[in-house]
A and B are shown apart, each in its own frame.
Chain A
Amino acid sequence: MARSFVLPDLGEGLTEAEIRQVLVREGDVVREDAPLLEVETDKATVEIPSPMAGRIEKIHVQPGQTVKVGQVLVEFGDAGDGKSTGGKQAADTLDPTRKLAPEPTTVVAEGRARQVPTTAAPVARGGPAPAARSGPVPATPSTRRLARELGVDLTAVPGSGPGGRVTDDDVRAAAGGGATRGAPATAQPAPAGRVAARPSAPEPPAVAKPLARVGVEPPALPKFEQWGPIERQPLSHLRRTIAERMTLSATLVPHVTHFDRADITDLDALIRRNLEAAKGRGVTLTLTAFLLKAAALALLEHPTFNASLDPAAGELILKRYVHLGVAVAMERGLIVPVMRDVDKKPIIEIARELGALAPRVREGKATLDDLRGGTFTVTNIGALGGTGAIPIINYPEVAILGVARGREEAVVRGGQIVPRLLLPLSLTFDHRVADGADGARFATAIVQRLEQPDSLLLGL
C-alpha cells in the first residue's frame, strides 16, 4: 500500500518551505532517516530525512516549488524490504503532526530551521481546514491557476462559493492577502457597541456594508531581450512575500503622508546624560526606544491609528492593545518584529527588549510571536541617512511612522538664531480611516512628546 509523506511541521510555526533539491529518485529504496529533500526556509536550508525505510514510489515536488506543511512530498510504495521500522508509522498517511526531529541527531533539531519572518504574520492560511473532500477541489481552472501563482495549496482552502466552490477570493485570503472578503462564516454581524472614532461629532448610526474590492492585473512585460542580454533571477521566498504584501498595501490602501519635524535637542541631551547609567544595567539607550514610547502614548490618544479597517463588514476594528512593529533591515529583506504593550512599559524596558530583538531577528532566531500582532509600525531609516522617506503601510495596520536622521539646524528662538537638533518625521496613514487633519493631530501628539521628554518618562 502506497504511503504519502507530507511536509512535516518544521517547528517554530513554519508553514511553508521551498524545495531546493530532491535527493532521491523514484524507484530508489531508502533507509529510515536518509535525506530525501533539501528545503529552504527564509534563512536556513534543511534536509528532510525519510520517516521510514522503503521504496520511493512517486515524487510530487520539484526544485523551486513552494510547499506547505501537510502537502504531499513523496509516496512510498511497498518496498521489497518494506518493513516500516516497527509499525512506527502504521497509518496510510504518515502523521504530518509528527515533529521531524525530536532526536538531536537530525539537522532540524540543531536549530537551523527558522521562522518565516515576513513583514506580516503568515499564519492562519486558509482558516480552518475544510471538511474532507472527495475528488478534485471544486474551483474553476482560472482559480486553480491563481492558486499556483500564489503558491496556495487548494486542497487546504475552504470554499465559500456555491456548493463549496473555492473562489479567487478564497485563494487570495489563503495566500495571506486578506484584502478580500472573508468567508461568510467569518463575516461579522453589526455589533451594537461601536466605538466612534470622534465622539464629538455626532453622526447618524452607520450601517455596515462591504466596500468595493480592488484588483489589478499587471500587464505583460515587453521582451527585454530585444534590446540586449538579460538574466532572470527567481525571487527569494522573503522577497516574494514582501513584494506581495507591499503590492497589496499600495494597491488597496489610499496612502497619505504628513511631514513634521521634532526638536529633540532636550531628548538627545537626556539620552546622552543617561547613556552610561543605562549601559551599567546592560541596556543601550537609543532614540528608537523613545520614539516607540512616544508613538504608543500618542496612539492611546488617537485610537483610530491603532486600528484596522474591516472592508467586508464596513467597520473599524479598534485594538485595545498597543503592539508596535519595528522595521529591521536585513541583507535579504525587510523584517518587522513586534514589541508588545509598549504603552505600558518603561523606556528602559523598551530599550532592553529592542537591544535583544533586533539581533535575534538578524540572526533569524525570531519566533513567530515576535513577528505578528502589530498594531502600528515605526521605521527608523536615520542610520542610513537621507532627509525623509514615505514608507508603505504594513497592512492591515492603519499607519506607519517614518523617521529620518536628526540634524542640527539653525532655529530662531525668541529672536535669536540657536542650533537645535531636528528630527524629520513622516506619518503615512490610510485615508479610508483618517483624514489629513486627523493625521496632523496624531503627528503633533508624537512630536510634542519627543520635544518634552518629561511626558515620556511620566507616561503622559
Chain B
Amino acid sequence: MVMGDLVREVDVAVVGGGPGGYSAAFRCAELGLETVVVDLDKRLGGACLFEGCIPSKALLHVAAVLSEAERAKEFGVDFGEPRISLDPLRKWKSERVIGKLARGLAGVAKGKNVEVIGGRATFEDARSVRITGDEPQKIRFKHVILATGSAPASLPGIDLKTERLMDSTAALDVPEIPGRLLVIGGGYIGLELGQVYAALGSAVTVVEMLDSLLAGADADLVQHLARRCQRMFKAIRLSTRVSALRDTGGGIEARFGEGEAETFDRVLVAVGRTPRTQGLGLEATRARVTERGFIQVDERGRTSDPHVWAVGDVTGEPMLAHRAMRQGKVVAEAIAGRPAAFDNVVVPAVVFTDPEVAWCGLTESQAAREGRAVKIARFQWAASGRAATLGRSDGLTKLVVDPDTGRVLGVGIVGPGAGELIAEGALAVETALLADDVALTIHTHPTLSETLMEAAETLLR
C-alpha cells in the first residue's frame, strides 16, 4: 500500500450507483450498516436514469403526444403540423426529468447517510477495493455488492468510427433528427427508439436477425405492435443480417445479408446489452463469472465468495431495473442476517412502444415449448368500452391459467397502458391467485383494467 493512502473502513461497499446499487445501499443503511456507493460518475441513477428507462420514456411520451395530436384529426381536432425544437426537448429531458430525479436520489442518499464516492473500483483482495479517479482511496469492507450494470452491446465484426453510428445511449441524446435511420435489432430497445425517431420525423428501417419482432413475447401480442410499426416505419426487414456497414462520408451504407445495400443518415445499434465486469479485478476474489460475463450468484445474491455479492444486470437476464432493485433489497437484508431470498416468481417485462406490450410469468409460447398444458383466456380490446372511447381497439389481454388448479400462471397484455395494467397480472401470478379471483373482483368501469376481469370471466366456472 502506498504511503499516505486513505483507507476507509465500512460495513458495505456498493460498486455502481444504478437502481440495483442504490436500492441495496439504501436498504443496508436502513438496517444500520455503514454503506458507501462507488460510482464512476459520482451519481446515483445509473443507466436507468441517465441513459435508459427514464430518458427513453420521456422521449416516448413526446412521441405519444405527437401521434395523439396526429390522430386527433380523426375526431375533428387539427393542431396543424408539429414544429419540433431539439434544444428545448433535450433541455426538458435532461433538466426537468433526469435532473429532478437525480437530485431526488442524491437527497435520499444524504438523508440515509450513504456517501457516494466518484471513481473506478478494483479489487485488491476479497475484502478491499482500490478507488482510482478523482477520489483515490482504498476501501476495506465487510461486504461488497457489485452493481456495475451493463453497457450497450456492439455489433460483432463491425468496427466503424463515426458519430453516425449510435448506440442507445447516444440515440437518447437526440443529436439530430436523421432523415433516414436504420435500427439494427428488433428488440424492445430498437422498437422503442425506432418509434421515437419515427414520431420525430425520421424514415425508420428496422432490421432484425430473427423472424419476428420482440422475440420472446407471444406472437398474438406482438402482432398488434407489428401492425402499428408497419405503419410508422418505412421498412421492417425480418430474418435479415447486416453484413457490412460502410462510412460513405455523407452517410452509412448498410448491406443486408448477401443482398442489396442502402444508405442511411444514421444507424442505431440495439442488439442487446452486455454485463460490465471487465476491469473489476474479480480474480482477487472467489466470485465466478460465466462465459457470457455474468457474475454467478445464489438466490440471496451471494457469489461463491462469502463477502462478495452482486445484483442487477451484471448477474444475468432479464436485465431490468425493477429486478435489480428487488435483488438489491434482498442482498442488503441477507447481509444484515435476515433470511431474505430472491424468490420472486415473476419479473414483469414491459415494452413501452405504442401500443405497449407487457407480460409476466409463464408465456403461451413457453408453455408450448415445454409441452405444458395450459388454458388461455383471451379478451380482445375491440369489445372494451374504454378502448373504444380512446379510439384504440388494437389491444389484447390474456391469462395463461393452470388447467388443474385454475391458478393464473402468466399474463400478457398489448395495448395502450399495458405497462400499467400488467401490475395486476404480476400480483395475481406472484400471489398464486386463481383466475376466478380475478373474475370475481370488481374492476372499475369503464377502464382498460376490466379487460383482465373479462378475460378471467371466460374461464369462470
Contact = CB atoms under 8 A, between A and B. Distances in A.
Contact of B372 (A27, A62, A134, A223): A134
Contacts of B304: 25-26, 59
Given A141-B430, A148-B339, A26 B296 contact: yes
A165 B288 contact: no
B407 A149 contact: no
Given A136-B345, A140-B430, A232-B337, A163 B407 contact: yes
B409 A135 contact: yes
Interface string A105-146: 000000000000000000000000000001110111100110
Contacts of A198: none
A225 interface: yes
A164 B402 CA distance: 11
A67 to B, nearest CB: 13
Contacts of A59: 298, 304
A99 interface: no
Contacts of B298: 59-60, 62
Nearest to B432: A138
What band does the interface of chain B fall in when counting residues whose beta carbon is under 8 Å from A? 20 to 34
B157 interface: no
Interface string A362-405: 00000000000000000000000000000000000000000000
Interface in B290-326: 296, 298, 300, 302, 304, 306
Contact of A138 (B32, B300, B302, B407): B407
B406 interface: yes
Contacts of A149: 339
B260 interface: no
B432 A26 contact: no
Given A25-B286, A136-B345, A163 B340 contact: no
Contacts of A140: 430-432
Interface in A150-179: 151, 161-165
> Most chain-B CB neighbours within 10 Å: which of A149, A151, A163, A225?
A163
B431 A148 contact: no
Interface string B64-89: 00000000000000000000000000
A144 B431 CA distance: 10
B341 interface: yes
Contacts of A136: 343, 345
B3 to A, nearest CB: 32
Contacts of A225: 32
Contacts of A138: 405, 407, 432
Contacts of B402: 163
Interface string A60-74: 101100000000000
B289 to A, nearest CB: 11
B455 interface: no
A-B complex: 4 closest residue pairs judged by Cβ atoms = A138-B432, A163-B405, A148-B339, A163-B407
11 contacts: A60-B298, A62-B300, A62-B302, A62-B306, A140-B431, A141-B430, A141-B431, A151-B339, A162-B406, A163-B407, A163-B432
Given A141-B344, A149-B339, A163-B405, 16 more contacts: A25-B286, A26-B304, A62-B298, A135-B409, A138-B405, A140-B430, A140-B431, A141-B343, A144-B341, A145-B339, A148-B339, A161-B432, A163-B407, A164-B405, A165-B432, A232-B337
